[in-house]
A and B are shown apart, each in its own frame.
Chain A
């Protein structure tokens, strides 16, 4: 198991990058009224066949050759279902994959969301060839970050330039705490 949900997000988004996605959308929705935390990871990568989708939650299925087990998706599914939630994957070959995990927000068995800003920062800064759209919402407040917009402003200055990397980290952290008022999630 992953000790925090943000690490599942990092892991599953890395799958999207390996599936040659050009754009990865990560939507984190905290809904205290419905007592739900919903994570969606939507990519436009190469997608999976129905057969692969059916197998992907099986730990003994993987496409890699360096080891025989693939625990990324099973971990994420287990974390959601153990917390009174649900888990779904939709995929179309050539179109992309959409992973949705819903967690019971107040469920005692829910792992903490953890450092989601660090996950998003890591994805953005070290995968400059992939675009990311991130939206974090808490109740009726929300903020977003779109790397297509950022790259347009930067005009060729790399995302891993120390000042740019630090700015992205601050942007994510400050806007998150303004959005959720510093709630422990």
Chain B
């Protein structure tokens, strides 16, 4: 059995590096719908993929958070990207693979992936 002992070592290792992140105004928020509709449609792997990629790429200014149902259940899993001073981009029918593309193209390079957005899906 794995014990909690190891956690002491991890804490000592990362404590120096972890600056207690504050929710500042310049932070980009990536919001994943985690109500029944989102979960049934596959939101759990999407949330995990986004959070893992954001951590892996060291995107300090990005917070991955959850929300409830926003009333667009047929488009779930839904991910909204809220960048300060920009219009909200709503991605629909998300998968872990699409999440990867969004991290690389939108969050890192700053170009929304239009083909996965709500407005593209509604056309």
Contact present for A126 and B7 (CB under 8 Å): no
Stretch at the interface among A19-27, A40-48, A158-166: A158-166
* A72 interface residue (CB < 8 Å to B): yes
1/0 per residue, CB under 8 A from B, across A143-159: the answer is 10000011001111110
Contact present for A167 and B10 (CB under 8 Å): yes
* Cα distance, A11 to B17, chains bound together (Å): 34
The total of chain B residues at the interface (CB under 8 A) is 35
Contact present for A175 and B71 (CB under 8 Å): no
Contact present for A160 and B51 (CB under 8 Å): yes
In terms of DSSP, what is the predominant structure of the interface of chain A? helix
* B8 interface residue (CB < 8 Å to A): yes
Known: A10-B44, A150-B7, A156-B20. A125 touches B51 (CB 8 A): yes
In terms of DSSP, what is the predominant structure of the interface of chain B? helix
Contact present for B55 and A162 (CB under 8 Å): yes
Contact present for A67 and B48 (CB under 8 Å): no
Minimum CB–CB distance for A23 against chain B, Å: 18
Most central of B20, B37, B39, B51 by chain A CB within 10 Å:
B39
1/0 per residue, CB under 8 A from A, across B1-32: the answer is 11010111011011100101100000000000
Known: A7-B39, A119-B44, A167-B6. A143 touches B11 (CB 8 A): no
Contact present for B1 and A122 (CB under 8 Å): no
Residues of B within 8 A of A (CB): 1-2, 4, 6-8, 10-11, 13-15, 18, 20-21, 34-37, 39-40, 44, 47-48, 51-52, 55-56, 64-66, 68-71, 73
